[in-house]
Chain A
Amino acid sequence: MINIPPAFIYIIGALLIPLVRLRRLQQALALLIPLLAMGTLLQMQQGVYWQVQFLDYELILGRVDRLSLLFAYIFVIISFISMVYAIHIKEMGQHVAAYLYVGSTLGVVFAGDLFSLFFFWEVMAAASVFLIWYNKTPTSLAAGFRYAMVHLFGGAILLGGIVMQVSTTGSIAFNPFDLSTLSAKFILFGFLINAAVPPLHAWLPDAYPEGTITGSVFMTAFTTKSAVYVLARGFAGTELLVWLGAIMTLYGVIYAVIEKDIRRLLAYHIVSQVGYMVCAVGLGTEMAINGAGAHAFCHIIYKAVLFMGMGAVIYVTGRRNILDLKGRNLYKKMPITLVLYMVGAFSISAVPLFNGFVSKTMIVAAAGYSHRPVIELMLHLASVGTFLSVGLKLPWGVWFGKPDGSEDEIADVKDPPLNMQLGMGLGALLCIITGIFPQTLYKILPYEVHFHPYAPSHVVASLQLLLLTLAGFCLYTNKLMAGKKSISLDTDWFYRSFGYAVLLFCTYPLNRLRNLIKAAFANKTESAVRLSKHPYALLEIVWYAIIGQEKSITELLQRPYDEKDYRIPVGIGVCASLIFLFLYALIYMRVAG
């Protein structure tokens, strides 16, 4: 369609959006960009394109194979859906930031070399932070700064790894890494920060709930899933990832049980779901890599639907905590949002006929085929927790909930604007289509698929699991809903406390030292100031010392300033310059002669 890398379709598009003055045209352009990119993607053949010479290296902006195409398809699809959801936003900057973010993610996906990978990696972080800052609250400003700091730190580590890699091997190719080298360890560390692997994950539940309603929908899709992609490229089959991934799934689930902030709860479930993908990448078999890709595809859609649903609730009610929403019968006021949210919730919970079922079960089965009993059980338990929090606790708390008499009325709310409903609807539709017809997804996976999600025993086992999770929820509903407004500590405690400690250090010990120094030198500077007003006083002091006449220094210095003391006839200046010229001429003739 257009012979430029899809990344640049978005980046150029993002820069064009502000130039269009007519609002309708602007909206049309914003929706046209993903369509153009999709058209380009559909025409791309596997191979290597867009090689650019840079210094002594060859950058590859288009490494096209089944893995990169899979991720590119879903990134483009979700950018369209998210833009439909966000199209009512009048502030152009938000669209620009979102598309720079999408474009740079596509750059990462198609990067065949480490330099362009790093470039797009950094643009991704820089563009996405604005989606947090546009929320324009003090908390989002602070969260955005923390987000930026963590990603800059991760980027620096990644760059360190890349530089070491290039200087030891001489090649900038982005191929599977050898983890025994130090450079690969650095690169892995950089990737793990973006994949939000504990304990490096705290930026995610810290920042995503603070983003704008529409910006957060974009953010859920790109950063973590592009990290899964680069892990699958560079570190497939790494044992460490199997365990980190499995721990992630449970880590997110446990936090989600105690979380009351509706978008922070969902953010912890991103950590949990990305855990499945990281674990699958670690397993590294064909089935597991297929599972990681398929789950990334499905996860991006249903997580967007979930964030759109909760975003809609915040948009119309202005409330973000379960404790401010429960027992207000919101289901009567925003039924469409509830239904569409539940499609996403059933998808993430892997209910049969919804898309999570066709991808998550593939990863769990891959753990079985790799004979990993503990891992299989951990992933299985995380499925229970997913349905518990996202499928039951959150919708129950937001739309239903038992009133206890203390509730204030939420007046005059209804389902959000049409475009927001449409965005959710498109996402929900895709969840159902891929859930019912898994072959549509399996056809574009990296390897051939020999997995049948709808084997009767699979379906029955899932129903057993889900139904009894529901039973457990019913028994403990009150316990889950109880509590007061609070925040949960996570590993961001370390850098937040460190930041606070630095602040304290500056305010007290460092400031005291400054005061000490100031006190010690204050009178000295005073003398220096006075001396600078009477430069000759110094000479006078020396002169009086020589001739043995006692005169106090302060007396000399405190003499009122008289400009006549420092005024010399013009002739002296002329004479001095003549002497200088004469000396100069002498030296010149001596050297030249």
Chain B
Amino acid sequence: MKTTRRRIMLAAIVVVFLLGFIFPNPHPHFWWQKIPVFDIFFGFFGSILLIVFAKWLGHNWLLKDKDYYNND
């Protein structure tokens, strides 16, 4: 079950990878828009960056005990 899902996922990534070369951006404004698979890397590393950074921030600073404001 789990491996099937993983295979579907990988197949889908390969498909969008190839589609990126078939349909390149005709009007790029910036250099990264000329890379056909840029969004593959941006999506993957962007999501991981957000998770890791937000979790780090929450753990070290932002998250407090739920009675934080009520201990008076």
Per the bound structure, the CA–CA distance linking A485 and B65 in Å amounts to 7
Query: Who on chain B is nearest to A470 by CB?
Result: B9
Tell me which residues across on chain B come within 8 A of A253, comparing CB atoms.
50
**Interface size of A in residues (CB-CB distance below 8 Å):** 48
Q: Are A457 and B48 in contact (CB under 8 A)?
A: no
B11 to chain A, nearest CB (A): 11
A324 to chain B, nearest CB (A): 13
- A380 interface hit (Cβ, 8 Å): yes
Q: Are B16 and A384 in contact (CB under 8 A)?
A: no
B27 to chain A, nearest CB (A): 8
The answer, among B24, B29, B51, B57, for a CB contact under 8 Å with A479, is B51
Q: Are A461 and B54 in contact (CB under 8 A)?
A: no
Q: Are A471 and B23 in contact (CB under 8 A)?
A: no
Residue-wise interface mask of A (422-450) relative to B, using a CB-CB cutoff of 8 A (1 in contact, 0 not):
00000000000000000000000000000
- A590 interface hit (Cβ, 8 Å): no
Q: List 20 A-B contacts (CB under 8 A).
A: A254-B54, A255-B54, A258-B63, A371-B29, A388-B50, A455-B26, A457-B23, A462-B39, A465-B43, A467-B9, A467-B40, A468-B13, A469-B44, A469-B47, A473-B47, A480-B55, A485-B66, A488-B64, A489-B61, A496-B69
Residue-wise interface mask of B (35-53) relative to A, using a CB-CB cutoff of 8 A (1 in contact, 0 not):
0011111111111101101
Q: Are A471 and B44 in contact (CB under 8 A)?
A: yes
Tell me which residues across on chain B come within 8 A of A254, comparing CB atoms.
50, 53-54, 57
Q: Are B13 and A471 in contact (CB under 8 A)?
A: yes
Contact A368:B53 (CB < 8 A) given known A475-B48, A487-B68: no
A450 to chain B, nearest CB (A): 12
Tell me which residues across on chain B come within 8 A of A384, comparing CB atoms.
42-43, 46-47, 50
Tell me which residues across on chain A come within 8 A of B62, comparing CB atoms.
255, 258, 488-490
Query: Who on chain B is nearest to A389 by CB?
Result: B50
The answer, among B17, B50, B61, B69, for a CB contact under 8 Å with A257, is B50
Looking at A258, A456, A483, which has the most chain B CB atoms within 10 Å of its CB?
A258
B24 to chain A, nearest CB (A): 6
Partner-B contacts on A (CB < 8 A): 253-255, 257-258, 368-369, 371, 373, 376, 380-381, 384-385, 388, 455-457, 459-476, 479-480, 483, 485-490, 496, 500, 503
Per the bound structure, the CA–CA distance linking A483 and B66 in Å amounts to 12
The answer, among B16, B58, B61, B72, for a CB contact under 8 Å with A500, is B72
The answer, among A257, A380, A381, A483, for a CB contact under 8 Å with B51, is A257
Per the bound structure, the CA–CA distance linking A500 and B70 in Å amounts to 10
Per the bound structure, the CA–CA distance linking A485 and B57 in Å amounts to 16
Tell me which residues across on chain B come within 8 A of A473, comparing CB atoms.
47
Per the bound structure, the CA–CA distance linking A258 and B53 in Å amounts to 10
Contact A376:B43 (CB < 8 A) given known A258-B55, A486-B64: no
Q: Are A368 and B47 in contact (CB under 8 A)?
A: no
Contact A385:B50 (CB < 8 A) given known A457-B26, A463-B19: yes
Contact A472:B43 (CB < 8 A) given known A258-B57, A258-B58, A460-B16: yes
Tell me which residues across on chain A come within 8 A of B24, comparing CB atoms.
457
Partner-A contacts on B (CB < 8 A): 9, 12-13, 16-17, 19-20, 22-26, 29-30, 33, 37-48, 50-51, 53-55, 57-58, 61-66, 68-69, 72
Per the bound structure, the CA–CA distance linking A376 and B12 in Å amounts to 26
Per the bound structure, the CA–CA distance linking A431 and B23 in Å amounts to 27
Q: Are B29 and A258 in contact (CB under 8 A)?
A: no
Q: Are A468 and B51 in contact (CB under 8 A)?
A: no
Q: Are A472 and B19 in contact (CB under 8 A)?
A: no
Tell me which residues across on chain B come within 8 A of A466, comparing CB atoms.
43
Per the bound structure, the CA–CA distance linking A474 and B37 in Å amounts to 20
Query: Who on chain B is nearest to A392 by CB?
Result: B47
Per the bound structure, the CA–CA distance linking A461 and B37 in Å amounts to 8
The answer, among B37, B51, B65, for a CB contact under 8 Å with A472, is B51
When A and B form their complex, which 7 residue pairs have the shortest distance between CB atoms, in order from nearest? A472-B47, A468-B43, A258-B58, A257-B54, A368-B29, A464-B39, A468-B44
Per the bound structure, the CA–CA distance linking A253 and B47 in Å amounts to 11
Per the bound structure, the CA–CA distance linking A496 and B68 in Å amounts to 11
Tell me which residues across on chain A come within 8 A of B46, comparing CB atoms.
380-381, 384-385, 469, 472
The answer, among B39, B43, B51, B63, for a CB contact under 8 Å with A480, is B51
Tell me which residues across on chain B come within 8 A of A376, comparing CB atoms.
29-30
Tell me which residues across on chain A come within 8 A of B64, comparing CB atoms.
486-489
Query: Who on chain B is nearest to A455 by CB?
Result: B26
Query: Who on chain A is nearest to B51 by CB?
Result: A476
Q: Are B66 and A463 in contact (CB under 8 A)?
A: no
Tell me which residues across on chain B come within 8 A of A381, comparing CB atoms.
42, 46, 50
Per the bound structure, the CA–CA distance linking A167 and B19 in Å amounts to 61
Per the bound structure, the CA–CA distance linking A470 and B5 in Å amounts to 12
Per the bound structure, the CA–CA distance linking A470 and B50 in Å amounts to 13
Per the bound structure, the CA–CA distance linking A464 and B23 in Å amounts to 12
Per the bound structure, the CA–CA distance linking A486 and B45 in Å amounts to 27
Q: Are B26 and A487 in contact (CB under 8 A)?
A: no
Q: Are B12 and A467 in contact (CB under 8 A)?
A: yes
Tell me which residues across on chain A come within 8 A of B23, comparing CB atoms.
456-457, 459-460
Per the bound structure, the CA–CA distance linking A257 and B48 in Å amounts to 11
Contact A468:B20 (CB < 8 A) given known A254-B53, A376-B30, A457-B25: no
**Inter-chain pairs besides A472-B47, A487-B66, 17 sampled, C-beta below 8 Å:** A253-B50, A254-B50, A257-B58, A258-B58, A381-B50, A384-B42, A462-B39, A463-B19, A468-B41, A468-B42, A473-B47, A486-B63, A486-B65, A487-B64, A487-B69, A488-B64, A489-B68
Q: Are B72 and A503 in contact (CB under 8 A)?
A: yes
Contact A479:B44 (CB < 8 A) given known A464-B20, A465-B39: no
Per the bound structure, the CA–CA distance linking A500 and B66 in Å amounts to 17
Query: Who on chain A is nearest to B21 by CB?
Result: A460
Query: Who on chain A is nearest to B46 by CB?
Result: A384
Tell me which residues across on chain B come within 8 A of A471, comparing CB atoms.
9, 13, 43-44, 47
A163 to chain B, nearest CB (A): 36
Tell me which residues across on chain B come within 8 A of A380, comparing CB atoms.
42, 46
Tell me which residues across on chain B come within 8 A of A468, comparing CB atoms.
13, 39-44, 47
Per the bound structure, the CA–CA distance linking A476 and B54 in Å amounts to 13
